[in-house]
C-alpha cells in the first residue's frame, strides 16, 4: 500500500505545484480587521481560495468565521489533525523577484510563504488527496487545518479550541525534520523603570544583555539540559512609553528550567527595576518512543532513507497551543534561515518529497 501511495503523490505532483503557486500568489499579510475578515481581507481571501481548491479535490470543508478553515476526509470525533498557516510575515526588502509571484527558476519556487507555511500545508492537503483518490479507508478521519494568525499570536487557534475539540494526534508542518518531540519554552520578559533612571537603566541593559553572552551567563540564567541545550536570549527591544523606559527580551528555555527561577534571577540583578513576564508558552515534550512519534519517524525514514531519530527545537509552533501534536517538517537537515527572509524559497523536489512523507505519516497515524 505504501508504494501505491507514493506513486499516487508523484502522479499528482504537477497539479499540486500549480495549486501551491496559486496560494503563494495571494498576499496574505495581516491587515485591518473587518467583518468576516478578522485578520484582514487578504488573509480572508487566501482562506477562501484554499478551501476552493480543497472542494475541487472533493473534500468536505469548513470555514470557522474566517479564523481558521479545514478540509476533512472521513467521519468521526477522534480525528488526526494537521495544522499549518496561510498568513505570512511582512515582505521586507531585498527581493530578486516579486514576493507574491510564485516565481520558479531552476526547480526552485521563490515567494513569501512558500516555506512558511503555504507550500507545506498544501503538500499535506495533497498527501491526503493521494490517499483519498486511491479510495483508501482509514480508521480515523483526517483534518487539514488552515490557520490564519500563526505569525501574530495564535488568535486563530485559540478561537478554534473554544469551538472545536482538538485532535487526538497530528503535526504541524512548520518546523524541521526529523520529527520534533520537544519544543523549548518561550517567555517574553519586560524590564522597566521611570525615565529619570535612564542612565542607570541603560547601564544595566548594556551589562546584562547587549554586551553579554546570549546564554544569559552574566544574569546567572545559563541553564542547560541534554535534550534541549542551552537557554537563549533573543529579540531585544527598547522603547519609551508613558514616561517609562522598557526593555524586552525573549527567552527560549529548556524544558527542565522553571520560569519562576528565571524571573527570580533576573530580578536579583535588576534591583528596583520592574520585571514581569508579558507572554509565555510552556515547553512541549512528548516521549520520543510514543506511537505517534515513532509512526512519523517511520514515514520520514521510509522516504528519505536517512536517520530519523527524533529531535528537539528552539523554535515555537502551533504545537505550543494545540494539544497532542508535534512539529514535523518541512525543512530538511541543513536547510536553515529561509523563512521570514528575502527570496524565501523551496525546491519543487522538496515539496514533492514532503508530500510523500506526509502521505505515509497520515496513513500510519490514522491507522494506529
Q: Is 87 known to be catalytic? A: yes
Please list the residues that pair with 83 across neighbouring strands: 145
From the list 308, 294, 317, the residue with the least C-alpha distance to 368 is 294
- Confidence band for 334, pLDDT divided at 50, 70 and 90: very high
User: Which pLDDT score, from 0 to 100, does residue 323 have?
Assistant: 97
User: Which pLDDT score, from 0 to 100, does residue 292 have?
Assistant: 98
Average pLDDT (43-59) is 98
Query: Rounded to whole angstroms, how far apart are CA atoms 289 and 174?
Result: 22
Q: Are 80 and 167 in contact (CB under 8 A)?
A: yes
41: left (phi over 0), alpha (psi -120 to 50) or beta: alpha
CA 169 from centre of chain:
16
Name the percent of the chain lying above pLDDT 90: 98
CA-based angle 242:154:67, to the nearest 5? 115
User: Which pLDDT score, from 0 to 100, does residue 315 have?
Assistant: 85
Q: Are 255 and 283 in contact (CB under 8 A)?
A: yes
Chain-wide mean pLDDT for the chain?
97
User: Which pLDDT score, from 0 to 100, does residue 30 have?
Assistant: 97
* Higher per-residue pLDDT: 123 or 314: 123
Query: Rounded to whole angstroms, how far apart are CA atoms 123 and 128?
Result: 9
Grid cell of 337 as nine digits: 534561515
What is the tens place of the pLDDT at every residue in 277-333?
Answer: 999 999 999 999 999 999 999 999 999 999 999 999 988 899 999 999 999 999 999
3-state SS of 269-334?
A: HHCCCEEEEEEEECCEECCCCCHHHHHHHHHHHHHHCCCCCCEEECCCCHHHCCCCEEECCEECCC
From the list 69, 39, 65, the residue with the least C-alpha distance to 53 is 69
Q: Among 30, 42, 149, 150, which one carries the catalytic annotation?
A: 150
117 three-state secondary structure: coil
- Confidence band for 176, pLDDT divided at 50, 70 and 90: very high
User: Which pLDDT score, from 0 to 100, does residue 25 have?
Assistant: 98
288: left (phi over 0), alpha (psi -120 to 50) or beta: alpha
What is the tens place of the pLDDT at every residue in 70-109?
Answer: 999 999 999 999 999 999 999 999 999 999 999 999 999 9
Name the percent of the chain lying above pLDDT 70: 100
Is the pLDDT reported for residue 247 higher than 90? yes
Grid cell of 326 as nine digits: 508535534
**CA torsion angle 49 52 57 62 (round to 10):** 110
3-state SS of 156-206?
A: HHHHHHHHCCCCCEEEECCEECCCEEEECEEEEEEEEEEHHHHHHHHHHHH
User: Which pLDDT score, from 0 to 100, does residue 232 have?
Assistant: 96
In order of 147, 154, 170, 351, the CA distances from 59 in angstroms are 17, 25, 19, 21
- Confidence band for 44, pLDDT divided at 50, 70 and 90: very high
Helices and strands, number each (H, E), in the chain: 8, 20
Is the pLDDT reported for residue 163 higher than 90? yes
352 three-state secondary structure: helix
Q: Among 19, 30, 42, 87, which one carries the catalytic annotation?
A: 87
Q: Is 226 known to be catalytic? A: no
Amino acid at each position: 500500500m505504501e508504494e501505491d501511495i507514493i506513486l499516487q503523490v508523484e502522479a499528482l505532483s504537477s497539479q499540486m505545484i500549480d495549486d501551491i503557486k496559486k496560494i503563494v500568489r495571494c498576499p496574505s499579510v495581516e491587515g485591518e480587521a473587518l467583518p468576516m475578515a478578522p485578520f484582514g481581507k487578504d488573509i480572508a481571501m487566501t482562506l477562501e481560495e484554499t478551501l476552493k481548491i480543497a472542494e475541487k479535490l472533493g473534500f468536505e470543508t469548513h470555514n470557522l468565521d474566517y479564523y481558521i478553515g479545514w478540509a476533512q476526509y472521513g467521519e468521526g470525533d477522534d480525528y488526526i489533525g494537521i495544522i499549518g498557516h496561510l498568513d505570512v510575515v511582512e515582505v521586507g526588502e531585498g527581493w530578486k523577484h516579486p514576493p507574491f509571484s510564485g516565481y520558479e527558476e531552476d526547480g526552485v519556487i521563490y515567494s513569501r510563504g512558500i516555506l512558511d507555511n503555504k507550500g507545506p500545508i498544501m503538500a499535506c492537503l495533497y498527501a491526503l488527496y493521494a490517499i483519498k483518490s486511491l479510495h483508501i479507508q482509514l480508521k480515523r478521519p483526517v483534518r487539514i487545518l488552515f490557520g490564519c494568525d500563526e505569525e501574530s499570536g495564535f488568535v486563530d487557534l485559540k478561537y478554534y479550541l473554544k469551538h472545536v475539540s482538538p485532535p487526538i494526534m497530528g503535526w504541524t508542518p512548520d518546523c524541521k525534520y526529523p520529527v520534533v518531540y520537544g519544543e523549548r519554552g518561550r517567555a517574553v520578559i519586560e524590564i522597566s523603570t521611570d525615565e529619570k533612571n535612564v542612565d542607570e537603566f541603560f547601564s544595566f541593559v548594556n551589562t546584562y544583555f547587549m554586551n553579554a553572552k546570549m546564554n544569559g551567563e552574566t544574569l546567572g540564567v545559563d541553564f542547560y539540559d541534554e535534550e534541549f541545550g542551552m537557554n537563549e536570549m533573543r529579540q531585544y527591544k527598547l522603547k519609551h512609553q508613558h514616561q517609562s523606559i522598557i526593555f524586552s527580551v525573549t527567552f527560549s528555555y529548556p524544558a527542565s528550567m522553571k520560569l519562576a527561577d528565571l524571573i527570580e534571577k533576573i530580578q536579583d540583578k535588576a534591583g528596583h527595576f520592574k520585571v514581569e513576564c508579558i507572554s509565555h508558552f510552556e515547553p512541549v515534550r512528548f516521549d520520543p518512543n510514543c506511537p505517534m512519534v515513532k509512526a512519523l519517524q517511520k514515514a520520514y525514514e521510509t522516504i528519505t532513507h536517512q536517520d530519523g531519530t527524533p529531535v528537539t527545537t528552539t523554535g515555537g509552533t502551533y504545537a505550543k497551543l494545540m494539544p497532542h501534536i508535534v512539529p514535523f517538517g518541512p525543512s530538511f537537515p541543513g536547510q536553515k534561515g529561509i523563512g521570514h527572509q528575502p527570496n524565501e524559497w523551496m525546491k519543487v523536489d522538496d515539496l514533492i518529497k514532503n508530500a510523500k512523507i506526509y502521505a505515509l505519516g497520515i496513513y500510519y497515524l490514522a491507522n494506529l
